[in-house]
Amino acid sequence: MILLFGGTSETAELALALAQTGEQILVSTATDAPLDIGDHPAILRRCGRLDRLGIVALIKEKSICVVVDGSHPYAVELHATVAAAAQQAAIPCLRYQRKTVVTVEDDLFFVVDHQAAAVIAVELEVPVLLTTGSRQLSPYVELLKSHNIPLYARVLPHTESEYACDQAGLPSENRIVGRGPFSEAENRELIRSKGIGVLITKDSGTRGGVAEKISAARQENCQVIVVQRPVEEQGYNQVFTDIDDLIVAVNVSPP
């Protein structure tokens, strides 16, 4: 059995490709939010967060032969945990990483973290649209509120997102609830309707709808701040940006 850590829009594509190896595929996700995992009979799903020992126990229980980490590019803690667990269990751990769609040559603000993004947003002194999810709301809510700058955040329709917004103090009327990726037209309409002057995004790749966000913002004369991908610690046997190459590696990995 192959253990696939998913939760992104590539999960179904990865799971279906891995199923062609003849192994059963166990897709592990942190929450039970609706997710397309493919309809192959060999694909199963489990939900719930796991620490390193939990992953090791799951590997032993299910006789996992290979771990594939297909989680979000910014899930740094999960990446480190998955790699450490696979190493402890002495089985191969492969990473699928989305390709980036932005470069430093683009006319954008690039920052290393959310605190830096919030600081630039304050300096721009215009209404802000946050499209990085609900986990890092606090720096924005606190700083922008203290400067009386409107903040809108686009978040997933899930109880965890609702709880995170409540904890950060983001009013319900400032929450844009929906599941992306969103089209250029949808982004433009949202920017216009809220009078947005700066959009904040992660470098989440093509599947994250980043190109559509940037294009929409440019057409609406809206600035863009990009929170760059974190530098990951090494721990994987190999990292791939092409699914076909990943499948080849899985097929030659020792049982």
Q: What is the pLDDT of residue 205?
A: 81
Helices (DSSP H) in the chain: which residue ranges?
11-19, 52-61, 76-89, 114-124, 138-146, 159-168, 184-194, 210-219, 243-252
* 6 vs 45: CA distance, rounded Å: 10
Q: How far is CA 249 from CA 141, 235, 238, in A?
A: 44, 16, 9
* 25 vs 33: CA distance, rounded Å: 19
Please report the domains of the chain, with CATH numbers, ordered by start residue: 2-98+231-252 (3.40.50.720), 109-227 (3.40.50.620)
Q: What is the pLDDT of residue 104?
A: 67
Q: 159 by DSSP, 3-state: which?
A: helix
13 strand-pairing partners:
none
* 255 vs 65: CA distance, rounded Å: 5
Average pLDDT, the chain: 92
* 69 vs 82: CA distance, rounded Å: 7
Give tens-digit pLDDT for 82-141: 999 999 999 999 999 888 878 766 689 999 999 999 999 999 999 999 999 898 899 999
Please check the confidence at residue 255 and state whether its pLDDT lies above 70: no
Please check the confidence at residue 70 and state whether its pLDDT lies above 70: yes
Angle at 78 between CA 104 and CA 92, to 5 degrees: 100
Confidence of residue 229 (pLDDT cuts 50, 70, 90): confident
Confidence of residue 252 (pLDDT cuts 50, 70, 90): confident
Counts of helices then strands in the chain (DSSP H, E)? 9, 12
* 252 vs 255: CA distance, rounded Å: 9
